[in-house]
């Protein structure tokens, strides 16, 4: 059972003008972005630094950082917003706070592939969608190569097996003792170390959040509350709704209404 | 929740001599193969046709067909055996009975990537492993493009939603009524059509087989019977063992002994 490590959320090709980002101001952007700029340019604030985006380059912009977009003239851009699907990659991308640049020239093999972003989203299991996923794996491999997570994080290395296990098994909500054993740690110690690496989360609240993100996607594609609860590992709609509220601060039915409106 | 569509089972780079395939004779090869031949050549029987494998070409050889290998001189080859992880791709590759050829020249962009097969298996989440997966998605997209499954299979198009759903949800063993609804069919009709498309399987025996394949992999990586049963959706070790025996004709403990010996 292997996962494709990222989820491509939205994408397209656009010509942005001076109004780009004007209404948004500075905000915490929750997803990672890939911009491939064919003409013009713009400026993006990521964290505390402003970056110039220039035609002829591709940019990986990390998520979960304060950001602001500004365009003084115009920019023609292929773009995708994406989110890691695996805990391991999530951790890796969370640590990756810089902007990565590829000259488009170095990506020319991929030009017919990223041009497909004009038709995003492509049908599941279509050749085009496979090519787009292939492209993403290739770009991610560049990021990983540039900044291998092993280098400065002996703790992460020890947690790695447990993290990979949680990525696969979060729907089943494995007990703390099983997770800790994967990392070769005592349960309490594992719990503490996990909180150090993922501030704001415990192992179980992390897996719960992942289940609830799945639930949100299922609700958005028309599944009933009962079906969604079952598919995310809850035998009982009541417990499911309670978890959902805890994570999203609204009930599943409210969330569905908002999605459908 | 998206899956990586294939599992890379084994791979390497080898120089084969005249003894290649001699002891195997003709047998049903259960997995798909990719051969990238850098020197020499060989012959492979696939189904009823013998194919010459020549240096300077890459070959996709479909699985589940009678096959025989023969080498009159020598062959230097990067190779991988792989299996589809998704029902949809499994169906697609099952219908794909021909040999697909790529001139290596057309894959020259990928040379540093397939050269990594010398180090197979690569660590999970390593840049090399991402690149190898990227390469596979790219090759699969070529196969899909050459032979789009939609073309001659209106039945498959109708089953598609149910198949994709089963790929995701087989661990949860969704009821027939839910599966049939995904295909917009009445349960009995769906059951009959599924058997037509996947001879030897019912929707539930298919999902059971997938769960048991997962179970086998979990046992092989040192999980206990109880853990494995839980992780493959069985609350009860007895029912789990019964399913396992049905699929593999041996008990989980026997299977584990064989794996460890």
Q: Quote the domain boundaries for residue A223.
A: 154-260
Closest residue to B3, CB basis, from A4, A130, A137: A4
Same structural domain for residues A138 and A55? yes
Closest by Cβ to B88, choosing from A7, A125, A133: A125
Q: Are residues A31 and A125 in the same domain?
A: yes
User: Residues B136, B162: one domain?
Assistant: no
Give me the pLDDT at residue A158, please: 78
Instruction: Note whether A16 and A137 are same-domain residues.
Output: yes
Question: What residues of A are in contact with residue B174 (Cβ under 8 Å)?
Answer: 230-231
Residues A231-242: pLDDT tens digits? Answer: 888 878 888 999
| Count of domains forming chain B | 2
Q: Does residue B88 carry a pLDDT above 60?
A: yes
Q: Are residues A120 and A10 in the same domain?
A: yes
Which residues of chain A have a CB within 8 Å of the CB of B88? Answer: 125
Same domain assignment for residues A42 and A138: yes
- pLDDT digits 0-9 by tens, A27-54: 877 789 999 999 999 999 998 899 999 9
Q: DSSP class of residue B184?
A: T
- Those residues of chain A whose CB sits closer than 8 Å to some CB in chain B are 1-5, 7, 85-86, 88-89, 92, 109, 124-128, 130-131, 133-135, 137-138, 140-142, 144-145, 148, 164, 169, 171-172, 174, 178, 214, 217, 227, 230-231
Distance CA B30, CA A194 (A): 41
Decide if B1 and A214 are in contact by the 8 Å CB cutoff: yes
Average per-residue pLDDT in chain A?
Answer: 87
pLDDT at A64: 79
Mean predicted confidence (pLDDT) in B54-79: 94
Closest CA to A13 of A113, A145, A117, A100: A117
Q: What is the Cα–Cα distance from A69 to A42, expressed in whole angstroms?
A: 8
What per-residue confidence (pLDDT) applies to A7? 84
Burial class, B19, CB count within 10 angstroms (exposed 0-12 / middle 13-18 / buried 19+): exposed
Q: Is residue B1 part of a domain?
A: no
Average pLDDT over residues B127-149: 90
The confidence score (pLDDT) of residue A261 equals 66
Q: For B157-195, how does the pLDDT look when each residue is reduced to its tens digit (9 = 90+)? A: 778 788 878 877 888 888 898 899 988 899 999 999 888
Specify the higher pLDDT residue, B45 or A3.
Answer: B45
What pLDDT is recorded for position B221? Answer: 72
CATH of the domain at A244: 1.10.10.60
Percent of chain A with pLDDT over 70: 95
pLDDT classification of A135: cutoffs 50, 70, 90: very high
Q: Which of B126, B146, B166 is the last residue of a domain?
A: B146
* B141 shares its domain with B44: yes
**A95 and A164 housed in the same domain:** no
Mean pLDDT of A120-143: 92
**Predicted local confidence at residue A149, as pLDDT:** 62
The pLDDT of A168-173, averaged and rounded, is: 81
- Please answer whether residues A66 and A40 qualify as being in contact, where contact means their C-beta atoms are separated by less than 8 angstroms: no
CA distance B6 to A258: 36
Residues B231-241, mean pLDDT to the nearest whole number:
85
User: How large is the average pLDDT for residues A58-77?
Assistant: 93
Residues from chain A contacting residue B180 (CB–CB below 8 Å): none
Q: Are residues A254 and A216 in the same domain?
A: yes
Residue A54: inside a domain? yes
| List of chain A residues whose C-beta atoms are within 8 Å of the C-beta of residue B178 | 227
Question: Which of B5, B82, B137 to probe by mutation at the A interface, max A CB count within 10 Å?
Answer: B137
Residue B163 lies in a domain: yes
The whole-angstrom separation of Cα B138 and Cα B118 is 20
Q: Of B114, B146, B178, which one is at a domain's C-terminal end?
A: B146
Please check whether residue A160 lies inside any domain of the structure: yes
pLDDT band for position A217 (cuts 50, 70, 90): confident
Q: HSE-up of A249 (CA within 13 Å, CB side)?
A: 0
Where is pLDDT greater, at A130 or A199? A130
Top-confidence residue, B215 or A138: A138
In a domain, A92, yes or no: yes
State whether A129 and A34 are in the same domain. Answer: yes
Q: Give CA–CA dist A46/A69, Å, rounded.
A: 9
In a domain, B128, yes or no: yes
Q: Give Cα separations from A157 to A89, A152, A167, A182, B39 (angstroms).
A: 13, 10, 15, 12, 40
Same domain, yes or no: B234 and B216 = yes
Distance between CA atoms of residues B205 and B198, nearest Å = 11
Write out chain A residues lying below 8 Å of B127, CB-based.
Answer: 141-142, 144-145, 148
Each residue of A174-203: b (16+ CB within 10 Å) or e?
beeebbbbbbebebeebbebbeeebeeeeb
Pairwise pLDDT comparison (A87 vs B160), residue with the higher score: B160
Confidence check: pLDDT of B3 > 80? no
Residue A1 lies in a domain: no
Nearest by CB to residue A2, choosing from B4, B142, B227, is B4
3-class state of residue A54 by DSSP: strand
Answer yes or no: is A45 within a domain. Answer: yes
CATH number of domain containing B129 = 2.60.120.280
B228 CB neighbours in chain A (<8 A) are none
pLDDT above 60 (res A1):
no
Q: Check CB contact under 8 Å for A138 and B134.
A: yes
In degrees rounded to 5, what are phi and psi of residue A99? -95, 130
pLDDT at A260 over 70: no
The pLDDT value given to residue B12:
95
Q: Is the pLDDT of residue B228 over 50?
A: yes
Provide the pLDDT for residue A56. 97
pLDDT of residue B113: 97
Give percent of chain A with pLDDT exceeding 90: 42
Smallest CA–CA distance from B230 into chain A, residue: A172
pLDDT of B150 strictly over 60? no
What's residue A153's pLDDT? 64
Q: What are phi and psi of B193, to 5 degrees?
A: -70, -40
Does the beta-carbon distance from B4 to A7 stay under 8 Å?
Answer: no
Contacts of B169 in chain A (CB under 8 A): 231
Does B96 share its domain with B68?
A: yes
Interchain CB distance below 8 Å, A7 and B2: yes
**Chain B residues with CB-CB distance to A3 below 8 A:** 1-4
Residue A3: predicted pLDDT = 65
Q: Is the pLDDT of residue B206 over 60?
A: yes
Among the three residues A95, A130, A146, which one is the final residue of a domain in this structure?
A: A146
H-state helical runs in chain A: 87-95, 111-114, 127-146, 154-169, 176-182, 187-197, 203-220, 225-231, 237-248, 252-260
Other beta carbons within 10 angstroms of residue B43's beta carbon come to 16
Residue B170's pLDDT is 84
Beta-bridge partner residues of A95? none
Lowest pLDDT segment from A174-183, A187-196, B5-14, B206-215: B206-215
Asked if the model's pLDDT at residue A256 lies above 70, the reply is: yes
CB contact (8 A) between residue A130 and residue B148: no
């Amino acid at each position: 059972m292997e996962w494709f490590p990222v989820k491509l959320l939205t994408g397209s090709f656009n010509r942005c003008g001076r109004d780009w980002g004007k209404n948004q101001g500075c905000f915490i952007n929750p997803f990672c972005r890939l911009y491939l700029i064919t003409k013009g340019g713009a400026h993006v604030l990521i964290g505390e630094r402003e970056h110039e985006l220039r035609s002829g380059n591709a940019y990986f912009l990390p998520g979960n950082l304060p950001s602001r977009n500004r365009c003084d003239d115009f920019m023609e851009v292929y773009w995708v917003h994406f989110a890691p699907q695996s805990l391991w990659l999530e951790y890796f991308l969370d640590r990756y706070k810089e902007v990565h640049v590829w000259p488009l020239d170095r990506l020319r093999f991929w030009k017919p592939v990223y041009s497909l972003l004009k038709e995003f989203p492509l049908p599941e299991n279509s050749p085009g969608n496979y090519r787009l996923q292939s492209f993403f794996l290739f770009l991610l491999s560049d990021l990983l190569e540039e900044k291998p997570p092993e280098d400065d994080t002996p703790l992460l290395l020890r947690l790695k097996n447990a993290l990979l296990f949680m990525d696969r098994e979060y729907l089943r909500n494995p007990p703390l003792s099983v997770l800790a054993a994967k990392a070769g740690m005592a349960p309490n110690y594992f719990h503490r170390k996990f909180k150090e690496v993922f501030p704001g989360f415990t192992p179980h609240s992390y897996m719960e959040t992942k289940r609830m993100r799945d639930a949100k996607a299922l609700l958005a594609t028309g599944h009933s509350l009962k079906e969604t609860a079952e598919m995310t590992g809850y035998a009982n709609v009541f417990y499911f709704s309670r978890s959902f509220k805890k994570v999203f601060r609204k009930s599943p039915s409210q969330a569905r209404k908002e999605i459908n409106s």
